Amino acid sequence: MSEWLEVGADNYVLVTEGSLLNTGLIVGTERAMVIDTGCGPRQGKEILDAVREKTQLPLVVVNTHAHYDHFFGNAVFAEAGVTEFWGHENCATEIDQRGDLQRRFVGTLEPEMSTGEGENVELVVPNAIVRDQPVLVDLGGVTATLFYLGRGHTDGDLLVGTPTTLYVGDLVEQGAHPSFEDSFPEEWADALRHISALRHRYEYLIPGHGKPCSDQFVKTMANTLTTAVRQARQSIRDTPDDATKAIPVLPYGPEQSRWFIKRLQETHREY
């Protein structure tokens, strides 16, 4: 069973089964904001039903980034009357142009979403766009600040802040190694340091998966990522013809390390 956890005044997080996604809920006096909608119509309905146990207010949705478990449930909310879907412009572009390619990842959990056959299986692309400047969304009595710290876990990671709580999506990975498939490792470390610098403003920091995180957890993740970049760079310089020799020195599992090296080579910043 999924359960709500209160994380500050008017702020809640729902840990859903399956993907163990953290769905955020911010409740104002006029509207409520749902942060991430799950990996298909089944989980999306579970999330919507849980939200409706908390509030009957009109809803707006935020997609923190363009990975299937964070936006494949959008159509359920659209059918329920939601018309305002927030996302970073890069997130919206990714969903619009390549979102269908992610259907193959949900065959077991969401067979209808996987095949594209059934109710609420269409992709709903964010239509309320955040770019480089923060956007304030008034929910009535509480304001949510949507902002972008640059590329990291993806090129379109959106954060949501309230006076008590910061929702960071998968920029912070708790309980598992980071996922690097379309990441920007060096810039991700920068984003984590920025989050750490902001941490004192918030009572709670909510990752996309896992438990609420401390400042020390974020700092450790940033330092680990920075060290991994340095170690991989040195190993690649030592053995330029075989970058996989960097894998044993990295602090991640073999598969994560392969993706880490691949993305590091593809996204290397010139200084």
pLDDT value of residue 18: 66
pLDDT value of residue 177: 84
* pLDDT tens track for 62-115: 999 999 999 999 999 999 999 999 999 999 999 999 999 999 999 999 999 999
User: Following DSSP, what letter does each residue of the chain receive, concatenated?
Assistant: --EEEE-STTEEEEE-TTT-BEEEEEE-SS-EEEE---SSHHHHHHHHHHHHHH--S-EEEE--SSSHHHHTTHHHHHHTT---EEEEHHHHHHHHHHGGGGGGGGTTT-HHHHHT-STT-S-----EEE-SS-EEEE-SS-EEEEEE--SSSSS--EEEE-SSEEEEETTS--SSPPP-TT--HHHHHHHHHHHHHHGGG-SEEEESBSS---HHHHHHHHHHHHHHHHHHHHHHHH-TT-GGGGGGGSSS-HHHHHHHHHHHHHHPPP-
pLDDT value of residue 271: 36
Domain membership flag for residue 79: yes
Domain membership flag for residue 237: no
β-bridge mates for residue 23, sequence order:
14
Containing domain of residue 58, as a range? 3-214
CA of 107: how far to CAs of 28, 66, 68, 82, in Å?
36, 18, 12, 26
Q: Supply the CATH number for residue 30's domain.
A: 3.60.15.10
- Residue 239 φ then ψ, to 5°: -135, 70
Q: Which long-range contacts (CB under 8 A, 24 or more apart) does 3-9 make?
A: 4/50, 4/54, 7/164, 7/165, 7/203, 7/204, 7/206, 7/212, 8/162, 8/163, 8/164, 8/165, 8/202, 8/203, 8/204, 9/142, 9/163, 9/164
Domain count, the chain: 1
Low-confidence residues of the chain: pLDDT under 70: 1, 18-19, 269-271
Domain membership flag for residue 195: yes
Domain membership flag for residue 257: no
* pLDDT tens track for 112-139: 999 999 999 999 999 999 999 999 999 9
pLDDT value of residue 270: 44
